[in-house]
Amino acid sequence: MARPAFVVFSLLLFAIPLEAAWILKKNTYVVDIDMSRQERLGQTVILKCDTTEEQINTNIHWEKKSNHHKPNSESWVKVGHGTELRVHVKDFPDAGNYTCRNQKREVLHYIVLLINEIVDVRGTNSKQILKEHPGTKKFINCEAKTYSGDFTCSWQIPKEGHEEMFVLQAEGGLRNVNCSHPALDPDRSVYTTNCQELGVCLHGEESQRVALVLHAIRGKRYENATTAFFIRNIVKPDPPQNLSISPSTERSIVLHWHYPESWNTQHTFFPLTFKVKVEETGKTQRKNTHNHQSGRRKRSKERAQYYDVEGTSLTLEQWNAGKTYCVQARDRYGASSWSDWSTCKHSMHQEKPRRLKSSLASKGTW
């Protein structure tokens, strides 16, 4: 079983011995650097070797993993002696894995320095690991199928390199949220994590937002992105189920469907509203339609018509036979998203009787 992400979050509470860096997780520190300045001052950090008293006099030295080591091999360079090492960090070559060893080259302690490029050389916020969702300025997109406290978050990355990702509740967050270890899709472009709010009150009114931080590491680079939301604003139900078509009268048909099985079972407390799409599969119809429930008439000059319905059925004129019907759902009282369309149903076209025309009739053969 994957280790809960909130255990990693507890590491942030450890004392920070590096004044110019902040701790991300055990033995891993982040240095914030403004890359837009021509004269970068950088940050000086002091690394301390976590050793016992017996190990202090064992010729302790520091080694750094080489920036030019061959693939699938390790190359280390000596960079200092003693239990402390002063490192001036100005750019990515200065970051990396610093390890202190004894004279037998046994590992006594290690520290990984990462760089957070808070402003890049162009003077803008730098993001090279994470990608914005198209059409938005958000890096993280979260959706919930119900109000049960379970939700899913996803984010995009460029298809290159190797990275480490984890999502934590933001410091100071008042809602107890736990997220799984992120999973990468087969195309290696989208990460997904499943989150759960512990101790959720299903019928309670939300007063505090869920606040999350996404941490991303690739090589020596660190990036993060934050999001905050109410569950009621990210709810996207599953599509309605069991859509069916049946005749009502000689002139009308009835569409029936069910709430999605995953939706909260108390439908009176968690009602959905529905939208029905009637789409033509042949020529554009130019007749009037009549909705027996609302009394509305619509003229079908377009290839698709939409009906807003609060129940789970809709009566339409029989001439709508021969079309395609789909339905989607949304929380009736929340400003959230519509579900995807349900599985569509097709009905057989029923033509009006035509008067026979035959050349034989003109010859008096009838």
Distance in angstroms (rounded) separating the CA atoms of residues 108 and 106: 6
Residues 6+ apart with CB under 8 A from 6: 168, 169, 178
- The answer on pLDDT for 361 being more than 70 is no
Q: Which of 167, 164, 176 is nearest to 217 (CA)?
A: 164
- pLDDT, position 74: 67
Distance in angstroms (rounded) separating the CA atoms of residues 117 and 175: 30
Q: What is the DSSP string of 69-116?
A: PPTT---EEEEEESSEEEEEESSGGG-EEEEEE-TT--EEEEEEEEEE
SS3 at position 232: helix
Q: If you ran DSSP here, which 8-state letter would residue 159 be given?
A: S
- Cβ count near 363 (within 10 Å): 8
- pLDDT, position 154: 94
- pLDDT, position 121: 67
- pLDDT, position 161: 65
- pLDDT, position 292: 45
The dihedral sign for the CA sequence 127, 131, 132, 138:
negative
SS3 at position 343: coil
Q: What is the DSSP string of 16-44?
A: ---TT-EEEETTEEEEEEETT-SS---EE
Distance in angstroms (rounded) separating the CA atoms of residues 153 and 350: 47
Bridge partner residues of 164 (DSSP):
217
Global pTM reads 0.75
- The answer on pLDDT for 211 being more than 60 is yes
Residue that is written with structure tokens 């909705």 in the block: 291
Q: If you ran DSSP here, which 8-state letter would residue 186 be given?
A: T
Q: What is the mean pLDDT of residues 143-150?
A: 93
SS3 at position 359: helix
Contact criterion met (CB below 8 Å) for 345 and 324: yes
Higher pLDDT, 4 or 223: 223
271-286 burial, b for 16+ CB within 10 Å, e for fewer? ebebbbbbebeeeebe
Distance in angstroms (rounded) separating the CA atoms of residues 240 and 64: 58
Express each pLDDT in 326-353 by its tens digit.
Answer: 999 999 988 899 999 999 988 765 544 3
Residue 228, token pair as written in the block: 């905050």
Express each pLDDT in 289-302 by its tens digit.
Answer: 444 444 444 444 45
- pLDDT, position 288: 45
Distance in angstroms (rounded) separating the CA atoms of residues 160 and 98: 25
CA 180-158-140 angle, to 5 degrees, is: 45
Express each pLDDT in 23-81 by its tens digit.
Answer: 999 999 999 988 887 777 788 999 998 777 777 766 889 999 876 645 555 688 999 98
Bridge partner residues of 185 (DSSP):
none
- pLDDT, position 14: 33
Domains assigned to the chain: 8-119 (2.60.40.10), 141-233 (2.60.40.10), 241-346 (2.60.40.10)
Distance in angstroms (rounded) separating the CA atoms of residues 352 and 348: 13
State CA 197 to chain mean position distance: 16
Contact criterion met (CB below 8 Å) for 45 and 18: yes
